[in-house]
Amino acid sequence: MRFLQKSIRNIATPFIPPYTKNHHNSQLINTSHFDNNSIAIGKGIPCLGLNGGPGVSHSWAFSFQVATKTQAETDRYWHAIIDNGGQASECGWCQDKWGISWQITPLALTEAITDPDPEAARRAFEAMMQMGKIDIAAIEAARRG
């Protein structure tokens, strides 16, 4: 996670709480006000937030993927990002208000697009390509044909 403000204190304070609140197994470990860096655990994965300066920005090339089990869980993560200044995109992708990309990916989608039946996988993939937030029932219906 890169932060563009001059002081990590200014961005880490508002940035970290929404994630630790909405993403289980997440916590802020340490914030260094000397070198403007922050260490956090996101979904159990250690992350180092660096202040890259004004010439460094986020891109779609890096994203966090959140594997969800239910539609309710999918909706909760999606809305935690979108309803707090984020932006919806396609195929389960979204960006939070800081420009970090997220893939909210139901396990049902992963199973469907890797179905051993290539036609079932194709149908599920084509259904996904029409979606913003993933609709598990629609993916499962497409998989069944």
Per-residue pLDDT of the chain in tens (145 residues, 90 and over written 9):
444 333 334 444 445 556 666 665 666 655 555 455 555 555 566 665 666 666 777 777 888 888 999 999 999 999 989 998 999 999 999 998 888 899 999 999 999 999 999 999 999 999 999 999 999 999 999 999 9
Amino acid at site 125: F
Cα–Cα distances in angstroms (integers) from residue 126 to residues 91, 93, 95, 138, in the given order: 10, 16, 22, 11
pLDDT value of position 109? 97
Distant-in-sequence, close-in-space partners of 103: CB < 8 Å, separation ≥ 6: 63, 64, 65, 66, 92, 93
pLDDT value of position 52? 65
Alpha-carbon gap, residue 96 to 125, rounded angstroms: 25
Which residues share a beta bridge with 102?
64, 94
**Backbone phi and psi for residue 120, each to the nearest 5 degrees, phi listed first:** -65, -45
Q: Are 20 and 28 contacting, i.e. CB atoms less than 8 angstroms apart? A: yes
pLDDT value of position 61? 81
> Is pTM beyond 0.85 here?
no
pLDDT value of position 133? 98
Helix 136-144 with 118-128: angle, nearest 10 deg: 150
